[in-house]
Amino acid sequence: MVRVVMAHPSPDLYGSDRMLVESVRALAEKAEITVTLPTDGPLSDLIRAAGAEVEILPVPVLRKAYLKPAGLVKLTWTLATTLPRMVSYLRRERPAVLYVNTVTIPWWLLAGRLARVPKVVCHVHEAEDGVPGPIRRALALPLRLAHTIIAISRSVRDRIVADGGPDGKTTVIHNGVAGPPPTDPRPEHEGHLVLVGRLSPRKGNDVAVEAAKLLVSRGHTIKLTLAGTIFPGYEWYEAELRAKAAELGPEVVFAGFTDPVWPLLATADVVLVPSRVEPFGLVAVEGMLARRPVVASEVQGLAEIVNDGKNGLLVAPGDPVALADAVETLLNDWTAATALANRGFDDATSRFGLMRYTTAMERAILGPDADV
């Protein structure tokens, strides 16, 4: 069995966290896996159930707070004490492969090289178009330490290369999603719009609330469910959202973190993904697999998932009028909306299945000659 250490920055259950579980499942039959997390949390039990051990190693995660002078000083001091422990851990475990999930823990790449791990892999989930160029290039620089880079979309790969990261080492593997139990389209709609994702300006929750207001003003009965929580430090955004929702008139439900998402998506008429930044867009695939029409922003990975008018609808990011117009088109012709949802289901099933993901991840991480 191949010994693999997987380093991950979060114990939560959002997009990259859930994909880590699928990565563990993809390798579990051919590898002995330990996943390192900075703290314990709900992800831990899922990792163990997927076939891996969990090791809690308090390692700093790159956040915006560190990208300030005081934050950089704190980060430098923290790394001076944690990096030697990371290297010692890898030397003790002696993995054949170190898999680093996301660029928010780039020091694991350095630790892997210092510990002389034979193969260091980085799975990149980020494509930060709105971040200043020097910061983007600084984030891409550690990727040169990886032997293999996995990008979750073509837009992520292009961002890596544009920021100075290596091109020849990078392969694109779209996320794989296990669908829900068999689901039928809704024969009639009740105006229920669902947005699953963190409460964050990036996810466009505010755009969805404004679009709901416009739809109500046009005579539609609308219920909007926002399923997600905030990152610490974004309490201001949730407060603004709640205030805006209270003023607007349509029924807005703050459902909090929701897992699994399938029962909620089964109640949806339309799934919204109005992100301003989205390197992939797992929820768009999940909405399609739930046989619900999807309206998404025409950005980055979402534009690779959704083919406008074929398997969903694309709208300009940050534009509540465009979002409301697209939803209204679906509500006004539910027969066409149902046909769109069915095409989305067929397309998502063929392009984003777990078998394809498992095969591609085995090849990228373990290589074609992995011990079976």
**Where do the structural domains in the chain lie, given as residue ranges?**
2-175+353-366, 192-351
Rg of the chain in Å (alpha carbons): 21
Pick from 272, 261, 19: nearest CA to 152: 19
Q: Would 2-175+353-366 and 192-351 be classified into the same CATH topology?
A: yes
Q: Is the pLDDT of residue 66 over 70?
A: no
Pick from 150, 60, 38, 160: nearest CA to 110: 60
- What is the reported pLDDT for 231? 80
Q: Count other C-beta atoms under 10 Å from residue 276's C-beta.
A: 18
Rounded distance between C-alpha atoms, residue 31 and residue 23, angstroms? 11
pLDDT digits (tens, 9 = 90+) for 96-148: 999 999 888 889 999 999 999 999 999 998 876 666 667 677 778 889 999 99
CATH 3.40.50.2000 assigned to 2-175+353-366: yes
The class that CATH gives domain 192-351 is alpha beta
- What is the reported pLDDT for 372? 38
Rounded distance between C-alpha atoms, residue 17 and residue 32, angstroms? 19
Residue 102 near residue 9, CB atoms below 8 Å: yes
Residue 99 corresponds to which tokens in the numbers above?
Answer: 């898999």
- What is the reported pLDDT for 93? 95
pLDDT band at 371 (very low <50, low <70, confident <90, very high): very low
Residue identified by tokens 């695939």 is 285
Q: Is the pLDDT of residue 262 over 50?
A: yes
Rounded distance between C-alpha atoms, residue 17 and residue 80, angstroms? 27
- What is the reported pLDDT for 69? 60
pLDDT digits (tens, 9 = 90+) for 173-210: 999 888 787 788 888 899 999 999 999 999 999 999 99
pTM of the model: 0.82
Residue 189 near residue 334, CB atoms below 8 Å: yes
pLDDT digits (tens, 9 = 90+) for 268-301: 999 999 999 898 888 999 999 999 999 999 998 8
Q: Is the pLDDT of residue 311 over 90?
A: yes
- What is the reported pLDDT for 248? 76
Q: Is the pLDDT of residue 252 over 60?
A: yes
Q: Is the pLDDT of residue 370 over 60?
A: no
pLDDT band at 226 (very low <50, low <70, confident <90, very high): very high
- What is the reported pLDDT for 283? 93
Question: What is the chain's mean pLDDT, rounded?
Answer: 89
